[in-house]
Amino acid sequence: MQPTFNVEQLRARTFRSMGTVVSLTVASGTSPQTAVDELESAVDVVEEIFTQLDLTFSLYREGSEASRLARGELALAYASESMQARYVEASEWRLATNGAFTAERPDGTLDLSGIVKAHAMREAELSLIALGLRDWCLNAGGDVLVSGSPGPSSASREVREPWLAGIVDPFDRQTLLGTYSLSGSADGGMRALATSGSAERGEHIWAVGPGRPEFLQVSVAAQDIVTADVLATAIVSGGPPTLDQAVEKWGVEVLAVGRTGTMLATPGFRNAA
């Protein structure tokens, strides 16, 4: 599938947060200077959201609330409303996935990093809507959330171009397994794509049961970024049974790569561009 939009209409900015690169790409039909001003304002807002959440939830910051909880200096009952809300959300996902997704490390340390980045993207979406931006793509370390289209808005266009998200080959990080079309409309299409696994960050996801996770990398397309991100991690941890559960219960699309290079793909990925 070849996009027909003019790449000159796309403007992007990046920043670093939560140990990764975050980029915001905005499509605009306004004047070049107006487009730049809109993008700069939007990036400032999004970066602030990521920064504040990282200050609270990062276990790599000695003075963060998450680190104080991990050291036993703070009880969860006395933690911030934000911390408690994410703990409740993570706990709900743990129940929903039969323990495949969990906010606790094997040593019992509370680690909400598996949901915080997606939550930051969800909060960023609300801010971008409030700023009046319709057509944008937010990419945080390969997790993608989109709105609208990269092509120009027009009442005469019945079908608008999708955003194309690339799936990196876990055995060769310089190449793509393929692309997946994300619809930025509110018609129930897939607006988010998240990828989890050990190919980039090493073994940081624990399997349900003994041994290593069966999947090296899992990509999930869903209607919202939290569902995509949580289920990508859960499927890595829980293997094929959790993959089947995710597809049946949440209607997501999944591309899972095994440690020997075998792939399992739902129809949405098999038919992807």
pLDDT band at 2 (very low <50, low <70, confident <90, very high): very low
Strands 192-197 and 263-265: unpaired
Whether 5 maps to a domain, the answer reads no
Question: CATH number for the domain including 188?
Answer: 3.10.520.10
Whether 6 maps to a domain, the answer reads no
User: Measuring CA to CA, how many Å separate 86 from each of 29, 76, 119, 232?
Assistant: 37, 11, 8, 18
Whether 195 maps to a domain, the answer reads yes
* 3-state DSSP of the chain: CCCCCCHHHEEEEEEEECCEEEEEEEECCCCHHHHHHHHHHHHHHHHHHHHHHHHHHCCCCCCCHHHHHHCCCCCHHHCCHHHHHHHHHHHHHHHHCCCCCCCECCCCCECCHHHHHHHHHHHHHHHHHHCCCCCEEEEECCEEEEEECCCCCCCCCCCCCCEEEEEEECCEEEEEEEEEEECECCCCCCCEEEEEECCCCCCCCCCCCCCCCCEEEEEEEECCHHHHHHHHHHHHHHCHHHHHHHHHHHCCEEEEEECCCCEEECHHHHCCC
Number of domains in the chain: 1
Model's pTM, two decimal places?
A: 0.90
Whether 116 maps to a domain, the answer reads yes
Whether 84 maps to a domain, the answer reads yes
**What pLDDT digit, counting tens, does each position of 72-123 carry?**
999 999 999 999 999 999 999 999 999 999 999 888 899 999 999 999 999 9
pLDDT band at 208 (very low <50, low <70, confident <90, very high): low
What is the span of the domain harbouring residue 192? 11-154+162-270
Candidate from 2-11, 159-168, 170-179 with smallest mean pLDDT: 2-11
> Given CA atoms 94, 97, 99, 105 in this order, what sign does their dihedral have?
negative
Whether 208 maps to a domain, the answer reads yes
Q: What pLDDT does residue 173 have? A: 86
Whether 221 maps to a domain, the answer reads yes
Strands 172-182 and 163-169: antiparallel
Whether 227 maps to a domain, the answer reads yes
